[in-house]
Structure 1
Amino acid sequence: MKDYVVKATAYDGEVRAIALRATEMVKEACKRQGTWPTASAALGRTMMGGALMASMLKGKDKLTVRIQGNGPIGEIIVDAHASGATRGTVTNPHVSPELNSQGKLDVARVVGNEGTLSVVKDIGMKEPFTGSVPIVSGEIGDDFTYYFANSEQTPSSVGVGVLVNPDESVLAAGGFVIQLLPGAKEATITEIERRIGETPPISKLVEQGKTPEEIITGLLGEENVKFLETKPVFFECTCSKERIGNAIISLGPKEIEAMITEDAGAETVCHFCNESYSFIETELEALLEEAESKR
């Protein structure tokens, strides 16, 4: 089954709902990062939170989610585009403590319960929109819920989950966000809270083969939902040799000269996809010439 996100409204426009299946997207990111199981869950949850949020954007709009907790995983960074392209990285991919008291991967422990979740949205304005909130649990879904309520003043419920195979590969990954829109009735809120409370973990639903549409109808009731749009979500990194070359140019002539004289070349690895880019002396000399022309 392909990864995709679906958007809907419900209860005659009182509610907005978005759900996604992102198993292949998360699997690819975790494979490239070399994450251990709990780090896979933390990275995957953050990627899906970013992808759900980016699905609300348009055109070439994009955003960056940054979770900076006090846990051993360090910083989690996710870039997500309105197109569905998403990538992510963690500072320390090799963390996976014992299961928590519920017998589940202890994401809160590796993320930490102190720190910040911040979002920077590039929506074509002169300055990007930036919002930041404290981490409230480290479980990530709760933290996105808190972000929506406090930074964007939109009461929301966010669920994101990742199941990992015994061989440490990703088995299933999915997520949803349910948002109350202005004018939502108290009876509607009560009904949604009841349904969410009775819904199994989102990752289990994806493992069972439930589609994003079925997840939404399960949360809100088929008779209440109107589907609007479906889009793919996928892992994609925007790095390239040209981009890396431009980054080297920005270091300035002195740094480039050192690469030539001391190392006779340069090699760098993208933090998001782990692709390696090499520059031989003649390539660095061309970059040096360009850097000097910009002085």
Structure 2
Amino acid sequence: MLLRCPAPVRARPAAFGHRRPARRVACRVVASAAPREDVLLRSLSENAEVSVLVVDGTRLVAEAQHRHKLAPTATAALGRALLGALLMGSFRKEDEQVQITFQGNGLAGSVLAMADTRGNVKGKVGNPNADPPLRADGKLNVGAAVGKGVLAVVRSHPLEPQPYTGMVPIVSGEVAEDLANYLVDSEQTNSALGLGVSLDRHCNVKSAGGWLVQILPFCSEETLEQLEKNLTTMPSVSAMLNDGLTAADITARILAGLGMISEEGNMVPRYGPCEEGPLKQRMVRAVAALGRQEVADIIKTEGKLEVTCDLCQQTYHFSQDEVDAYLDAQAVSVQSRDG
């Protein structure tokens, strides 16, 4: 029996859309109590027939909103993508990475998220100001922000000769349903997926989380029936987080009647990393490709030369001396190799 992964998503559209304040002009950053620590919890049913990942990524999505200065709907779109990539990329082969890209025709443009097996995730949205009108039911219209197009998922590993790429049409643009559809169609993974980002009346991230349920081989009909019952009657993940439930509480709701075994090695997910050393090295390499004269002209005209990372929004400044030193080192390296 196939557990239809899109079913829980379609059955409760409220789980993946969230009410925006009635007046956008009220959106502002205010001081608030710090949310609890983020966590990514991995568990099994007692009969080892169902694997569950649950993430509370409230701080993570709040950081992404702050870094990219995102409008409410753009926050929900990128937040869901980050959480989805995190769930799809964690606890896999060491050093494996997953990248998901929603290339839609909506106001948000391209929405990208990248995650590794250790719970690190980062991403960007093409238009941080994307904020289409609310849906008819008063929810944030993430589907309109993403639009129709293609969802691409790339899994890569340094020891693999080439990455695996899967592509499917965007079904709804609501992110969770599209990722669930991808898992069934491209990876033949019998699974279900839920994601949610909730904003408060000041447009700050109130809660953000998700769950990924995977059916393991030889799962019984009785287990599937109980699991489907749990998923279709369960509140949205953001509603549960807003009510104070922890990742362990949500896992218990998913596995009600099946028992729960928490596995060791739970993670604290985080945004990034874009380590300063490697990042600056890539940036100076890109700057040096402009050539000495072009760099000199920019510094003369602008008074400085700065480069900003699209994924972490960190800006670095480079001097003519730094660029010259890099080009000189490259020239010496070439001479040594050719000599």
Give the alignment's TM-score, normalised by structure 1: 0.92
Whether 1:200 aligns to 2:235 is yes
Whether 1:49 aligns to 2:87 is no
- Unpaired runs of 5+ residues, structure 1, are none
Matched-pair contact (CA < 8 Å) for 1:237–1:272: no
Matched-pair contact (CA < 8 Å) for 1:79–1:86: yes
Aligned-pair identity (%): 29
2:226 is matched with 191
After TM superposition, the runs of 4+ consecutive aligned structure 1 residues lying more than 4 A away are 250-254
1:149 is matched with 184
Q: How far off its partner does 1:228 sit?
A: 1.0
Q: How far off its partner does 1:90 sit?
A: 0.6
Matched-pair contact (CA < 8 Å) for 2:73–2:132: yes
- Residues 208-254 of structure 1, C-alpha deviations (whole Å, 9 max, x = no match): 11111111110121652211131111112315255333344256655
Whether 1:257 aligns to 2:293 is yes
- Residues 21 and 177 (structure 1), Cα distance of their counterparts in 2 relative to 1, 3 Å cut: same
Q: Give secondary structure in 2 for the equivalent of 1:191.
A: helix
Which among 300, 324, 329 is matched to residue 285 of structure 1?
324
- Unpaired runs of 5+ residues, structure 2, are 1-35, 335-339
Whether 1:33 aligns to 2:72 is no
Which among 301, 304, 307 is matched to residue 268 of structure 1?
307
Aligned length: 295
Q: How far off its partner does 1:293 sit?
A: 4.1
Point out the more displaced range, 236-245 or 108-117.
236-245
- Residues 12 and 245 (structure 1), Cα distance of their counterparts in 2 relative to 1, 3 Å cut: same
Q: Work out the CA distance in 2 between the residues paired with 1:113 and 1:261.
A: 42
Q: How far off its partner does 1:119 sit?
A: 2.7
Q: Work out the CA distance in 1 between the residues paired with 2:221 and 2:158.
A: 33
Structure 1 letter corresponding to 2:306: E
1:165-244 pair list within 5 angstroms: 165-221=200-256, 223-229=258-264, 230-240=266-276, 242-244=278-280
Bigger-Rg structure (1/2): 2
2:281 is matched with 245
Point out the more displaced range, 179-188 or 256-265.
256-265
Which among 99, 105, 109 is matched to residue 140 of structure 2?
105
**Structure with the larger strand share:** 1
Q: How far off its partner does 1:48 sit?
A: 0.4
Q: Give secondary structure in 2 for the equivalent of 1:232.
A: coil
Aligned Cα RMSD in Å?
2.0
Matched-pair contact (CA < 8 Å) for 2:81–2:113: yes
Q: How far off its partner does 1:60 sit?
A: 3.0
- Residues 84-137 of structure 1, C-alpha deviations (whole Å, 9 max, x = no match): 111111110101122212221111110113322323332632322222222111
Structure 2 letter corresponding to 1:134: P
Q: Give secondary structure in 2 for the equivalent of 1:160.
A: strand
Q: Give secondary structure in 2 for the equivalent of 1:38.
A: helix
